[in-house]
Each structure stands twice: as C-alpha cells, then as structure tokens.
Amino acid sequence: MTLNEHKKHAKLARPASGNFGRNEWAIVGGPCTVIKLLAHDVIGAFSPTYKCAYADTSHNDDITLVPGRLTNGAMLDYTDQINYQQYNFQNPVMSYQLKQAFANADLILVNGNHQQAKAQIVIIDSNKRASLLKRVEQLTNVELFLLADNNEGIPDFIQEAIPHWEQIPVYRLDDRERIIAFFETNLKKAQPLLNGLVLAGGKSQRMGFDKGNVNWHGKPQRYHMADLLKPFCSEVFISCRPGQQSEIDPQYPVIEDTFTGLGPFGAILSAFREKPDQAWLVIACDLPLMDEATLRNLVAWRNSSSTATAYHSPVTNFAEPLVAIWEPKSYPVLLSFLAQGYSCPRKVLINTEINLLNAPDPEALTNVNTPEDLEQIKRILHQKTATN
C-alpha cells in the first residue's frame, strides 16, 4: 500500500450540518438591532411548531466581566434559572460542541454580521453598504434579499459577486408575511426523508428458532413487515447481524449491524450511520398483528420536530421504541446515551421529548417471544380469518 492509498480515518456518512445545525441562515447586511428584531419575529412565528435557535456575538463595548464561579477558576457554571437554564463556559466552545448544542433545533438564525452559516439572507441597506462590502466573500449561498426602506435594488458589487443574483427572491424588509412564508416553505422541504428498518437480527433465543422466518401471512415475517412498510417509506431495509446477510432474499436491501452486541439499539445506530440525514421507521419483525392502518396512523401523526414519534405500549405503559419513527436528531442522542453506558432505546424515549401516540388498535403492537406467545397469536389470527 502506498502513502496515497493509506486511509487514516474510517469513511463515515456525515450529517449535512452547517456551522450550527442542518437548517441555518445567517442574516447579514443590516444593523444588528434590525437583525435581532427580524429573528425575534421569525422565531415567534415558528416556535409553536418548530424548535428555534439564535446565535449572536456580544455587542458590549466595555470589557465583559466573567460571570459567577468562572471568576474563581471553574470551567463550567450551571444555573437553574427556573424558567430557563444557563450555562457559562470558561474555555472557548469548539465547533463540534456547538453542533451538539444546536442539534435539536429545526430552525437556526444567526447574526451574520458576527457569525457565519451555510445559507444567507442579505439585507440591502444603504447605510450598511461598507459593512456588507467587507462580507461579500461570506455570501456563498444567498437564498433571499431583503430591501430596507432606503434601497430599491441590488447593488453592483453584489451582482458581481453572485452571478445568479437575478434568480434569488427579493422582498421588502418590512414584509414579514412573505419572509415568514419563505421560512415555512424551506422548513417543510427540509423534513427528513423517511426510510423503513425491519429489525430481524435477533437470535430468537427464547423462541428457539428465527422469528423472522415464521410464515404468518404467506411469506417469512421479515419480508411481510418490509412489504407493509413500503407504501410509507422511500426505501425499506432489513436489519441483520453480521454474517446473516446471506440468509436474506437479495431483493430486500440489508443494513448489517456495525454497532454489534447492542440489540435493537445497535441496529438503529447502524441505520443512522448509513444515512444520518434521514428518518427511520423502525419496526420489530415479530409483530404478526401489525397492520397497514396502524402504520398509516403513525406516519400521519409524525412530528419531525420531536426526537421520535412512537406509540404508547399498554403492556409496559411506556413508549414502544420498536414501532416508532426515529428522526435524524435522535442520532446524537442515541450516541450520548451509549457513551453513558445505556443501550436501551426505550430509556432514550422516556428521557427525551417525543411525540407519543395512542395506537388505534393496541393489539397490533403484540409481539411474539416464546412458543406460548406463538400459539396464542395463531388462535387470534385463526379467529380473525374465520370472522372475515
């Protein structure tokens, strides 16, 4: 192997994040007060539906005093302010730490006069022409122009810097309704694609044979579940343990566990490792009573702003993690739980903000773990067939 062929790092699919998160816009070119007021109005419009965040830099001209216990050498000062939580850090916050802090945000607005983001909204204000001219190189992905009252067009230096400037929408800065509609359109388009993941990598030790191979509905159960998911998902994959792929029908795409020895928790992480920007409708293969109506209801009530959308289980009285839609923002959450020694997906749902639903037919959530369960399900299916 030559030096050029040597790979120092594993090839991983990286989330499509900017400096702070997936959906971020720097508002640049206007006075900072104007930028703050615009961000205030946009966040106010979307905060009932989406998780919004804002990033800025302190504008204090005087020397900023170090707050709290940081003055005596603490590296972190946390205060529960009852209505909000406050963290003060002594050391600079690294880029990866910022992304972790903003990972749960659906919409991130940035004061572009001081911070950068992967997309920009440019305010054209004659009084800030010199300031905007200094930042022309930051205008790498302009999606909207906003004209202040003192300006009627796009200045020459912007036209020269952005060859396609005529294709970018131009609104008045005070036209809040159109500005909010712009963000609404983009947030809807940014909803993560939904894939399906059938969990079929278990060893079925309590059952004594592979539950994914049981024929309840005219075909092995893992394929039946995959076919049930297809109308609701962009792609559907069979999740299996290492070495099991050869047992899977090649017409069904497979994701092998790369987080091994962790059961369903590892299967979900392995799916996100493959496609970190897409959501996953995760379903166990041992649910012989699962039906189209239950899946349709889950997808219809999906809330992509939550960590996950899941059904309440009448058996455990908790959220059911294996009939659930896991959003991309759950990926770093799952990893953080693993780093703390937890590998239970239900524990993640219990301790994060999720969209919890009641199943239209709770019986559809019944799983089969033992030969006794199997015989009971056989009787239920026989009764359903006889009734129909």
- Token readout for 306 is 């939550």
How distant, in Å, are the alpha carbons of 152, 195, 268 from that of 252? 57, 13, 18
Whether the CB-CB separation of 47 and 109 falls below 8 Å is answered with: no
For residue 319, pLDDT beyond 90: yes
Enumerate the CATH 3.40.50.300 domain ranges in the chain, comma separated: 24-189
pLDDT of residue 214: 79
Angle at CA of residue 316, ends 313 and 319, nearest 5°: 45
Torsion of CA 345, 347, 349, 351, to 10 degrees: -150
For residue 302, pLDDT beyond 80: yes
pLDDT of residue 209: 44
pLDDT of residue 350: 97
Enumerate the CATH 3.90.550.10 domain ranges in the chain, comma separated: 194-387
3-state secondary structure of 88: strand
pLDDT of residue 334: 97
Q: State pLDDT tens for residues 264-295.
A: 999 999 999 999 999 999 999 989 999 999 99
Q: State pLDDT tens for residues 81-140.
A: 889 998 888 888 899 899 999 999 999 999 999 999 999 999 999 999 999 999 999 999
pLDDT of residue 5: 59
Q: What is the dotted CATH code of the domain comprising 194-387? A: 3.90.550.10
CATH H-level, domain 24-189: superfamily = P-loop containing nucleotide triphosphate hydrolases (3.40.50.300)
- Token readout for 262 is 């962790």
- Report the mean per-residue pLDDT for the chain: 90
Place of tokens 């003060």: 88
Strands (E), 262-352: 279-284, 308-312, 319-326
For residue 2, pLDDT beyond 60: no
**Residue 262, amino acid:** L
- Token readout for 339 is 């780093």
Whether the CB-CB separation of 286 and 221 falls below 8 Å is answered with: yes
